[in-house]
Amino acid sequence: MHPSTMPDSTVLPSVASPSRVPLVTIVALCHNHAPFLRPALDSLLAQEYPKLEVWLVDDASTDGSQAILREYAAAQPQWHTLFLPENVGNCRAFNAAFRQSRGEYLIDFATDDVLLPGRVSQQVAAMQTADARVGVLYTNCELIDEAGQSLGLHHRPDGRGGLLPPPASGWVFADVLRRYFISTPTMLMRRACLQELGGYDEQLSYEDFDFWVRASRRWQFLYLDEVTTQKRKHPRSMSARAYRRHDPYLASTIVVCEKALALCRSPEERQALAVRLRWELRQALRYRHFAQARQLYLLLKTTGYVRITDYGMGMVSDVFRKIVKN
């Protein structure tokens, strides 16, 4: 392993004894998930893991979700609730519960998804035998539609004994920069990792890319080849709103890319970031975000890995940015 890809030296916890049963916190985040809320909450009840701390967090829903959450919380008095008076977004909503929680491991659970039976037990068992420097464990998931019908797997067999997208384990900082391969709803996060990062960055409109970048710089990731979660695809989901004409996440993506550039320690890592920036630049141009495209192009130049075709995209972004501005 290239020394520059190793994390900063830090005091890390020892591997937990497999015989000990750690507390797991599930932060269930809801914003207008009423049509999907009962299956999501039922999937929490179906977990047989003996030490769960559940936080139900409603981010100012307006569709009747709060009544359903109160119904389940009344039946499960050990569950905690947070009903936020105004919509603050995923990052702030998650942190509000995270800072009050006690679990050694945490799951960020969107309540339009479903946890499959045995998920928590499977993931904790893998974490308990993993290296103490593993901060994040993730798995495969099944994609489902609004009606709960299967759309296939996130990591699909490639016909040659591998998976697409290929999962990565260990020090994955360059992989995280280069490509999307982690299914966010499947993650189990070590509390020490989240605490070291200060939780999610509340200045951002979404959490996962930034979390992956900052966490993978100092912590290892581990892939468990099991299907543990159903991720729902529907028009109101966060992923459905990305890379569109009115993309609400692009500004945050640029901020994360700036952070990633500052964290790069080797030419290989800057080259990996260039791959990401090139992709984001193409998408920004496709959906006519010319000012943001210009920012992405300037960041791409800073990596030192600009191709001839990149100069053309840079010129297009600058010309149309000026036209739109005028």
What does the pLDDT look like over 115-171, one tens digit per residue?
Answer: 999 999 999 999 999 999 999 999 999 999 999 999 999 999 999 999 999 999 999
From the CB of residue 10, how many other CB atoms can be counted at a distance below 10 Å?
10
pLDDT at 228 over 70: yes
Split at pLDDT 50, 70, 90, the class of 14 is very low
Q: What pLDDT does 10 receive? A: 36
DSSP bridge partners of 108: 27
pLDDT at residue 97 greater than cutoff 80: yes
In this prediction, residue 84 carries a pLDDT of 98
Q: Which amino acid is at 232?
A: R
The pLDDT value given to residue 242: 62
Contact 266, 5 (CB under 8 A): yes
Q: Does the structure show a pLDDT above 50 at 3?
A: no
Q: Which residues contact 284 (CB under 8 A, 6 or more apart)?
A: 250, 290, 292, 293, 296, 317
| 208 vs 248, higher pLDDT | 208
Asked if residues 139 and 127 have their Cβ atoms less than 8 Å apart, the reply is no
User: Percent of the chain, pLDDT > 90?
Assistant: 87
Q: What is the pLDDT of residue 17?
A: 47
Average pLDDT over the chain reads 92
Phi/psi for 244 (5° steps) reads -130, 175
Helix 250-263 × helix 267-286 angle, to 10°: 170
Residue 66: pLDDT above 90?
A: yes
Question: What's the whole-number mean pLDDT along residues 304-325?
Answer: 89
Question: Which pTM value belongs to this model?
Answer: 0.90
Name which residue leads in pLDDT, 175 or 1.
Answer: 175
Closest CA to 122 of 137, 106, 144, 101: 137
Contact yes or no for 220/169 (Cβ under 8 A): yes
Burial class of 77 by CB neighbour count within 10 A (0 to 12, 13 to 18, 19+): exposed
pLDDT, residue 238, reads 62
The C-alpha atoms of residue 238 and residue 29 are separated, in whole angstroms, by 13
Domains parsed from the chain with CATH numbers = 20-240 (3.90.550.10), 250-325 (no CATH)
Burial class (CB in 10 A: 0-12, 13-18, 19+), 39: middle
274 Cβ contact partners less than 8 Å away, ≥ 6 residues apart: 300, 303, 304, 305, 306
Token look-up 């630049």 returns 281
Residue 8 pLDDT exceeds 90:
no
Coil vs helix vs strand at 167: coil
pLDDT of 320: 80
